[in-house]
Amino acid sequence: MFDWFQLAKEKENSMIQVRRYLHQYPELSFEEYHTRDYILNQLSQLSCEVRSPVGRNGIVATFTGHGDGPTIALRADFDALPIDELTDLDYKSKNPGAMHACGHDGHTAILLAVAEIIEAHQNALNGNVVLIFQYGEEIMPGGSQEMIDDGCLQNVDRIYGNHLWSGYPTGTIYSRPGAMMASPDEFNVTIHGRGGHGAKPHETIDPVVIMAEFIMSAQKIVSRTIDPVKQAVISFGMVQAGSADNIIPDSAFCKGTVRTFDTEIQAHVMNKMDKLLQGLAVANDITYDLDYIKGYLPVHNNPTCYEIVKQATNDMNLRFNESELMMIGEDFSHYQKVRPGAFFLTGCGDPEKNTTYPHHSPYFNLDEKAMKYTASQFLKILELENVISQPTT
């Protein structure tokens, strides 16, 4: 009988080595050329069929089985963030302005280990395994749609993905049926008024005051026009205007994010923001520009695939928990638009190892012990999907 956890544990040291190498040489979204070449070199030592580039910079590795089982895809991302790392790790980033502050280095190390384990047990493959190494997850439009357009899901029946998560304890697995992660939209608003001297505001049309009114009124879109049992968030992350204390500027600018799980709520927020600006324009004789950019689709887990994730966790004697709804975004959702699939989180937070900093923090790190749990979980999912068989006795 295959002991997936033991097989994954035997790869733990190599996963750590791969992850630490990638951590030292992070590359930003859509610029991951060295990372791509490193992954290709690792895969070249295996007998899988490799195709690259898929989309702009992606890799697809396929193991073909000998039976009539399904074709199951597993996905990992490999881009980094524009952050200067502030940890004191021996393997901290050597690339200024770039850091693996979200765990994508770990995701890649895990999928390479899974590839090596499948390679060693190809005679047990009933179906096919497609390993998707994806670039550009951190920046919209994301790499997943480009890879889908280039055929990465051709003949794939279902797809599974994972994210190491510092907010949960090491070794725990989290997922949920249906909606799990939100659509992360962006918006930019410029209000055009008429500038002048701060001592004579009556001779101006002050865009700063009007922008303040817009920001305050926008909060009522969620609190007073959306059903309280449904979820939406409007947050302003940047406001810019003016150059001196005694000058009323000609314009004011802001940008922010909207997070929703429902396309109707998303459309409602867009419409209300535009109507609010129309009203301010009429009342104050200003003009405005609204640039609303729809983000990734919400991550929405197929119920059957979710149950397989849950069963795999229980069969591996790991701790399964139902995830809370999360307002973060993930372009894994684009795969789920095309094929049934499920996304799950593996806890990698350990206070004693200082690995509980939030994702995207310059102090982020992960408990590397968590990688073997995800690797064994992926392998168990393949078994439950009848892609790989346990030996008969």
> What pLDDT is stored for residue 392 in this prediction?
59
Name the domain count of the chain. 2
**How is residue 98 annotated by DSSP?**
-
Q: pLDDT tens for the chain, 393 residues: list them.
A: 789 999 999 999 999 999 999 999 999 999 999 999 999 999 999 999 999 999 999 999 999 999 899 999 999 999 999 999 999 999 999 999 999 999 999 999 999 999 999 999 999 999 999 999 999 999 999 999 999 999 999 999 999 999 999 999 999 999 999 999 999 999 999 999 999 999 999 999 999 999 999 999 999 999 999 999 999 999 999 999 999 999 999 999 999 999 999 999 999 999 999 999 999 999 999 999 999 999 999 999 999 999 999 999 999 999 999 999 999 999 999 999 999 999 999 999 999 999 999 999 999 999 999 999 999 999 999 999 999 988 754
Residue positions annotated with a catalytic role: 79, 137
- 163 assigned ligand-binding residue: yes
**In this structure, are 94 and 242 located in the same domain?**
no
CATH value at residue 227: 3.30.70.360
Closest-CA residue to 297 (of 245, 247, 335): 335
φ, ψ of residue 270 to 5 degrees: the values are -55, -50
- 102 assigned ligand-binding residue: yes
For the CA atoms of 276, 281, 286, 291, what is the dihedral angle to 10 degrees? 40
- Tell me the residue type at 185: D
Distance CA 163, CA 380 (A): 17
Sign of CA dihedral 294, 296, 301, 302: positive
- Is 101 part of any domain? yes
Structural domain that includes position 213: 183-293
- Is 30 part of any domain? yes
**In this structure, are 125 and 204 located in the same domain?**
no
- 152 assigned ligand-binding residue: no
CATH value at residue 155: 3.40.630.10
**In this structure, are 227 and 289 located in the same domain?**
yes
> What pLDDT is stored for residue 124 in this prediction?
95
- 202 assigned ligand-binding residue: no
**In this structure, are 207 and 226 located in the same domain?**
yes
- Is 228 part of any domain? yes
- Is 391 part of any domain? no
> What pLDDT is stored for residue 390 in this prediction?
81
